[in-house]
């Protein structure tokens, strides 16, 4: 048996062992699935076996790009206006305020920490700090499932978590799209460099116009297999166009999904087709993230630890402050921010996208912070959400 | 019409976007890839509206938007999409193998064996004979001594006997056909793949004895290597299939992701073990299907079909984009007789075998139409010849690829016609395939 084949078999065995171990742990200790795919990526990558060589990762780069666009579209389809108008405005206000607080806290701290630790100017550290702020804003929707299982889907906390996860995802994607627009290199073929606003408009237009055209393209198509093929084509096209222009496939995807969900009569079929490969693509993204990871112990420890602390403080403090400011303390409780700590797929997507932008600084630090945060919150977020739900359920019981 | 118009708008949009981006970046291939899928989808629907199989539409879309005509999808993009193509081939091979559940194939085993025994020798002899007859007009044989002409004729004929598992699976997936004609065609196509690799290897050995390769060319592997390529593929396939059946028996989760991993992993294992990829995945499919409970096997097959649906579009659109129209037109006077003679030989050979096996009238009448297609394996064999004989082999490869191109279009049309005539197509589906179990 060749060395390569032995390695493949070893990695496969390790993966399945890790998968089953994490599966049991997930059931026993409420751990959100995903970390084993990151571990698989690290095992396959240049750090351990080098099966996924940098060249191979480069040649398979269209897959994570597609995953970014796909995740964006799924996020966008959650914003159906007809349903959103039924939810009280204060729910959105709480979500936006909490996001703004988290973003400001993390960005400000990282801005100073990076410029101080690496002896560089604020302007050089800005893209990395802002991106880490965006990553900090994003939160996992998995915790929503945990809490809704306890309190039911009509509970105000459950609704708040659902909306917060959605708003967090869109804001995180939008902030990162802004970073890519603001720090965009001028295209060689254009007569003058495009402004940040123009690049941002182009990002939204790619998704928006793509969504409208695709709505017309689909017509009355309702067969899920054919819908899936056409959707795949459209999302690949939009993601490819955004990535080709060095813009954000994630945010273009959000715009695409938003337009599609608000114009198409086949909304449920489209969502079913999208969800068909949501998990596989997320896992692919995690594997790639693992394979692309290049830690550098000396450089990353301080900023990463600061990121993790600042994010936790931002989420928990921001949520508490928001609830107090908007008079939602009796409904959401003081600890609802704990249920937002789960990091989720959008964070991985932004981390991977940042790493692929060769012109942006501190790529390894941003990416390592993302990976560390995902791994850490995968282990704890569901339990934290569970305890928030338990506390709130206890309070409601006492009131009765 | 509406879709074609939108496709036109997308094309204009792409032309506007292209100057603003990074030319040659891998995302450019993603952009063109997305366009190709939508284009293939559109042309596929047009094909259905005129009563033809979707995959013919996919092929046409590739041809129209590929390097031969509009060049929207350039040769660089086609090359960059090669990993997706390989994944598609691996998945198709596994899916094809998984279709061969013994209890379902058993009633047709005699027909399959006897049809193979008749059609392969007849097609081989007819094509080899024709090549010798046309010798003065064939560029790589016109000035060659008779022994060389015989050698190249045998080689060409061995490649000419190849069928296409990919097209067969594509049409079966599209039509949902699982009747006697469908199962017999699938059986013949899959078993003939193994037989023809052996025939080709024998023909190649004869050719190398008669026409030793020049320094620029490479000697083909030894008999031991060939034995390992085939025997090793069976061995690796059995092990892989066994592992898969354990997974679907005891775990049975994340089947969609698992299906893609199987294809990727199987192809990688085959590459590392230096065994035939297609045969490895095919055997893995057969073993996993037959070693698993029927329900579990069906669930995996369903997941595979869902994963393969977009890959079929990509595979055939890329196959269309790889066709070089100018090369086909330059040798049309050779392509036409080769196709006519091969088709007649397949028709008569199949009829003979089916009569010998005392098959049903539908099998006697319709199975030959499912054997016309040629694609991946044939192209692979032609590439081997091109590498061994850089000058004459390359000319042989060009002529052969021209005939493959025509057969690639002709095959699906005839096969769908055969299935419709036999009353085996199912309405609905990707255009017919029974809805797979949800997971």
Q: What is the pLDDT of residues A346-355, one digit of tens each?
A: 999 999 999 8
3-state secondary structure of B220: coil
φ and ψ at A247, to 5 degrees? -110, -175
CB atoms inside a 10 Å sphere around CB A86: 6
Phi-psi region of B221 (alpha: psi -120 to 50; beta: other; left: phi over 0): beta
Is the CB of B9 inside 8 Å of chain A's CB atoms? Answer: yes
pLDDT of A398 reads 67
| Chain B (378-417) residues lying within 8 Å, Cβ to Cβ, of chain A | none
Cβ contact A41:A288 at 8 Å: yes
Mutation for testing the A interface, residue in B8, B34, B433 having most A CBs under 10 Å: B34
> With an 8 Å Cβ cutoff, are B38 and A230 in contact?
yes
Q: What one-character DSSP code corresponds to residue A190?
A: S
B41 contact residues in A (CB cutoff 8 A): 226, 229-230, 233
Residue A268 tokens read as 């449920």
> With an 8 Å Cβ cutoff, are A5 and B269 in contact?
yes
pLDDT of A97 reads 96
A236 contact residues in B (CB cutoff 8 A): 30, 33-34, 37
Per-residue DSSP letters for B100-114? --HHHHGGGHHHHHH
CA distances from B304 to A224, B54, B261 (A): 15, 19, 11
> With an 8 Å Cβ cutoff, are A232 and B37 in contact?
yes
Q: At a CB cut-off of 8 Å and minimum separation 6, what does A194 contact? A: A184, A186, A187, A202, B20
> With an 8 Å Cβ cutoff, are A62 and B3 in contact?
no
| Averages of pLDDT over each 10 residues, chain B, 439 residues | 81 80 73 86 86 86 88 80 75 80 82 92 94 88 86 88 85 86 90 79 80 61 66 86 82 71 80 80 86 78 74 82 82 91 95 92 92 77 76 82 86 92 72 37
| Chain B (255-294) residues lying within 8 Å, Cβ to Cβ, of chain A | 256-257, 260, 265, 268-269, 272-273
This prediction has a pTM of: 0.80
CA distances from A4 to A49, A294, B270, B271, B284 (A): 9, 22, 11, 10, 20
Q: At a CB cut-off of 8 Å and minimum separation 6, what does B254 contact? A: A279, A280
Find where tokens 């005699």 sit.
B110
3-state secondary structure of B292: coil
Residue A100 tokens read as 């703004």
Per-residue DSSP letters for B24-93? T-HHHHHHHHHHHHHHHHHHHHHHHHTT--HHHHHHHHHHHHSTTTT-SS-HHHHHHTHHHHHHHHHHHH
Burial of A90 (0-12, 13-18, 19+ CB in 10 A): middle
Q: Residue A249: which pLDDT band, with cuts at 50, 70 and 90?
A: very high
Q: At a CB cut-off of 8 Å and minimum separation 6, what does A97 contact? A: A318, A321, A322, A325, A326
Is the CB of B310 inside 8 Å of chain A's CB atoms? Answer: yes
pLDDT of B433 reads 40
User: How far is the C-alpha of B190 from the C-alpha of B192, rounded, in Å?
Assistant: 5
When pLDDT is averaged across residues A4-24 and rounded to a whole number, the result is 57
Cβ contact B171:B58 at 8 Å: no
Cβ contact B26:B80 at 8 Å: yes
User: How far is the C-alpha of B414 from the C-alpha of B340, rounded, in Å?
Assistant: 14
CB atoms inside a 10 Å sphere around CB A21: 11
When pLDDT is averaged across residues A218-228 and rounded to a whole number, the result is 78
Q: Residue A28: which pLDDT band, with cuts at 50, 70 and 90?
A: low
CA distances from B3 to A209, A268, B9, B39 (A): 15, 22, 10, 9
Cβ contact B269:B240 at 8 Å: yes
Residue A176 tokens read as 């990162």
Name which of A8, A59, A233 is nearest B34 (Cβ-Cβ): A233
User: How far is the C-alpha of B41 from the C-alpha of B310, rounded, in Å?
Assistant: 10
Q: What one-character DSSP code corresponds to residue A223?
A: -
Q: At a CB cut-off of 8 Å and minimum separation 6, what does B242 contact? A: B287, B288, B291
Q: How many residues does chain A have?
A: 400
User: How far is the C-alpha of A275 from the C-alpha of A281, rounded, in Å?
Assistant: 10
User: How far is the C-alpha of A30 from the C-alpha of A389, rounded, in Å?
Assistant: 14
Q: What one-character DSSP code corresponds to residue B370?
A: G
Rg (CA), chain A: 21
Q: Residue A250: which pLDDT band, with cuts at 50, 70 and 90?
A: very high
ipTM greater than 0.90: no
Find where tokens 């509206």 sit.
B49
> With an 8 Å Cβ cutoff, are A277 and B21 in contact?
no
Q: Residue A20: which pLDDT band, with cuts at 50, 70 and 90?
A: low
CA distances from A89 to A93, A323, A326, B11 (A): 6, 14, 11, 41
Residue A363 tokens read as 């790529």
B26 contact residues in A (CB cutoff 8 A): 58-59, 61-62
Q: Residue A31: which pLDDT band, with cuts at 50, 70 and 90?
A: low
The string over B233-262, giving b where at least 16 C-beta atoms fall within 10 Å of a residue's C-beta and e elsewhere, is bbebbbbbbebbbebbeeebebbbbbbbbb
pLDDT of A351 reads 93
Mutation for testing the B interface, residue in A187, A237, A274, A285 having most B CBs under 10 Å: A237
pLDDT of A281 reads 79
When pLDDT is averaged across residues A235-260 and rounded to a whole number, the result is 93
SS (H, E, C) B107-150: HHHHHHHHHHHHHHHHHHHHHHHHHHHCHHHCCCCCCCCHHHHH
> With an 8 Å Cβ cutoff, are A225 and B6 in contact?
no
Cβ contact A63:A288 at 8 Å: yes
Cβ contact B414:B372 at 8 Å: yes
pLDDT of A17 reads 57
CA distance B242 to chain A (A): 14
CB atoms inside a 10 Å sphere around CB A290: 23
Cβ contact A256:A238 at 8 Å: yes
| Closest to A323 measured CA to CA, from A151, A87, A144, A101 | A101
3-state secondary structure of A18: helix
Rg (CA), chain B: 21
A62 contact residues in B (CB cutoff 8 A): 26-27, 29-30, 33, 84
Burial of B31 (0-12, 13-18, 19+ CB in 10 A): buried
User: How far is the C-alpha of B169 from the C-alpha of B387, rounded, in Å?
Assistant: 29
Q: What one-character DSSP code corresponds to residue B282?
A: H
3-state secondary structure of B222: coil
CA distance B347 to chain A (A): 34
pLDDT at A183 over 50: yes
Cβ contact B236:B273 at 8 Å: yes
The string over A188-212, giving b where at least 16 C-beta atoms fall within 10 Å of a residue's C-beta and e elsewhere, is eeeeeebeeeebbebbbebbbbbbe
Q: Residue A94: which pLDDT band, with cuts at 50, 70 and 90?
A: very high
Is the CB of A190 inside 8 Å of chain B's CB atoms? Answer: yes
User: How far is the C-alpha of B94 from the C-alpha of B286, rounded, in Å?
Assistant: 8
Question: What is the residue-averaged pLDDT of chain A?
Answer: 84
Is the four-CA dihedral A363, A365, A369, A372 of positive or negative sign? Answer: positive
User: How far is the C-alpha of A102 from the C-alpha of A107, rounded, in Å?
Assistant: 8
- Of A48-57, A229-238, B93-102, least confident by mean pLDDT is A48-57
Q: How far is CA B147 from the centre of its chain?
A: 31
pLDDT of B431 reads 44
SS (H, E, C) A42-96: HHHCCCCCCCCCHHHHHHCCHHHHHHHHHHHHHHHHCCCHHHHCCCCHHHHHHHH
Is the CB of A193 inside 8 Å of chain B's CB atoms? Answer: no
Residue A184 tokens read as 């965009």
């Amino acid at each position: 048996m060749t060395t390569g084949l032995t390695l493949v078999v070893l990695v496969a065995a390790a993966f399945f062992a890790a998968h089953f171990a994490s599966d049991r742990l997930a059931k026993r200790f409420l751990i959100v699935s995903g970390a084993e795919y990151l571990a698989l990526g690290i095992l396959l990558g240049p750090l351990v076996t080098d099966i996924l060589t940098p060249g191979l990762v480069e040649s398979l780069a269209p897959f994570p790009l597609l995953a970014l666009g796909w995740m964006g579209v799924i996020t966008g389809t959650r914003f159906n206006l007809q349903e959103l108008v039924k939810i009280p405005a204060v729910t959105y206000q709480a979500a936006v305020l909490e996001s703004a607080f988290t973003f400001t806290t993390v960005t400000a701290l990282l801005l100073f920490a990076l410029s101080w630790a690496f002896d560089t100017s604020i302007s050089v550290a800005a893209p990395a700090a802002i991106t880490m702020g965006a990553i900090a804003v994003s939160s996992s929707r998995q915790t929503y499932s945990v809490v809704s299982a306890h309190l039911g889907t009509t509970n105000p906390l459950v609704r708040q978590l659902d909306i917060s996860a959605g708003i967090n995802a869109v804001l995180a994607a939008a902030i990162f799209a802004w970073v890519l627009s603001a720090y965009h290199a001028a295209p060689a073929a254009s007569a003058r460099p495009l402004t940040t606003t123009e690049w941002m408009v182009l990002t939204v237009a790619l998704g928006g116009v793509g969504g409208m055209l695709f709505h017309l393209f689909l017509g009355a198509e309702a067969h899920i297999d054919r819908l899936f093929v056409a959707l795949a084509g459209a999302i690949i096209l939009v993601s490819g166009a955004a990535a080709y222009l060095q813009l954000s496939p994630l945010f273009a995807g959000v715009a695409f999904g938003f337009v599609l969900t608000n114009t198409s009569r086949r909304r449920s079929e489209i969502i079913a087709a999208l969800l068909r490969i949501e998990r596989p693509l997320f896992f692919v993204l995690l594997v790639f993230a693992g394979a692309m990871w290049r830690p550098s112990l000396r450089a990353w420890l301080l900023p990463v630890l600061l990121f993790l602390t600042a994010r936790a403080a931002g989420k928990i403090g921001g949520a508490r402050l928001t609830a107090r400011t908007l008079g939602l303390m009796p409904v959401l409780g003081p600890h609802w921010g704990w249920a937002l700590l789960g990091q989720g797929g959008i964070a991985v997507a932004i981390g991977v996208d940042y790493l692929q932008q060769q012109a942006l600084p501190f790529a390894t630090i941003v990416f390592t912070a993302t990976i560390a945060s995902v791994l850490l919150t995968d282990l704890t977020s569901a339990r934290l959400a569970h305890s928030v739900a338990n506390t709130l359920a206890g309070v409601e019981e006492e009131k009765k | 019409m509406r879709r074609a118009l939108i496709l036109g708008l997308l094309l204009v949009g792409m032309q506007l976007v292209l100057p603003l981006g990074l030319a040659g970046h891998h995302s450019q291939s993603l952009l063109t890839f997305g366009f190709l899928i939508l284009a293939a989808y559109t042309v596929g629907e047009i094909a259905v509206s005129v009563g033809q199989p979707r995959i013919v539409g996919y092929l046409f879309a590739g041809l129209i938007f590929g390097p031969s005509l509009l060049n929207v999808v350039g040769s660089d993009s086609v090359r960059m999409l090669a990993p997706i193509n390989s994944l598609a081939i691996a998945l198709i091979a596994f899916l094809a193998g998984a279709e061969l559940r013994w209890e379902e194939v058993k009633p047709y085993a005699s027909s399959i064996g006897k049809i193979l025994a008749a059609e392969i020798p007849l097609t081989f002899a007819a094509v080899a004979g024709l090549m010798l007859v046309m010798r003065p007009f064939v560029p790589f044989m016109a000035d060659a001594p008779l022994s060389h002409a015989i050698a190249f004729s045998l080689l060409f004929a061995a490649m000419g006997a190849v069928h296409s598992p990919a097209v067969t699976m594509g049409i079966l997936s599209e039509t949902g056909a699982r009747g006697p004609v469908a199962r017999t065609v699938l059986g013949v196509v899959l078993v003939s793949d193994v037989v023809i690799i052996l025939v080709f290897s024998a023909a190649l050995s004869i050719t190398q004895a008669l026409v030793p390769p020049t320094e620029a060319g490479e000697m083909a592997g030894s008999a031991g290597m060939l034995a390992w390529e085939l025997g090793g593929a069976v061995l690796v396939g059995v092990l892989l299939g066994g592992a898969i059946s354990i997974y679907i028996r005891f775990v049975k989760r994340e089947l969609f992701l698992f299906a893609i991993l199987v294809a990727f992993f199987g192809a990688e294992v085959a590459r590392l073990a230096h065994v035939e990829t297609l045969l490895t995945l095919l055997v893995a499919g057969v073993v996993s299907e037959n070693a698993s409970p029927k329900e579990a096997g069906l669930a995996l097959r369903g997941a595979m079909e869902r994963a393969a649906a977009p890959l079929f579009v990509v595979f055939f659109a890329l196959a269309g984009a790889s066709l070089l129209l100018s090369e086909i037109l330059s040798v049309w006077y050779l392509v036409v007789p080769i196709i006519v003679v091969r088709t007649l030989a397949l028709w008569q050979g199949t009829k003979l075998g089916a009569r010998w096996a005392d098959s049903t009238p539908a099998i006697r009448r319709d199975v030959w139409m499912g054997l016309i297609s040629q694609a991946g394996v044939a192209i692979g064999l032609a590439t081997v010849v091109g590498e061994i004989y850089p000058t004459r082999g390359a000319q042989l490869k060009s002529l052969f690829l021209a005939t493959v191109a025509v057969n690639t279009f002709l095959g699906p049309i005839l096969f769908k016609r055969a299935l419709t005539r036999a009353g085996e197509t199912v309405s609905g589906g990707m255009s017919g395939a029974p809805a797979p179990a949800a997971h």
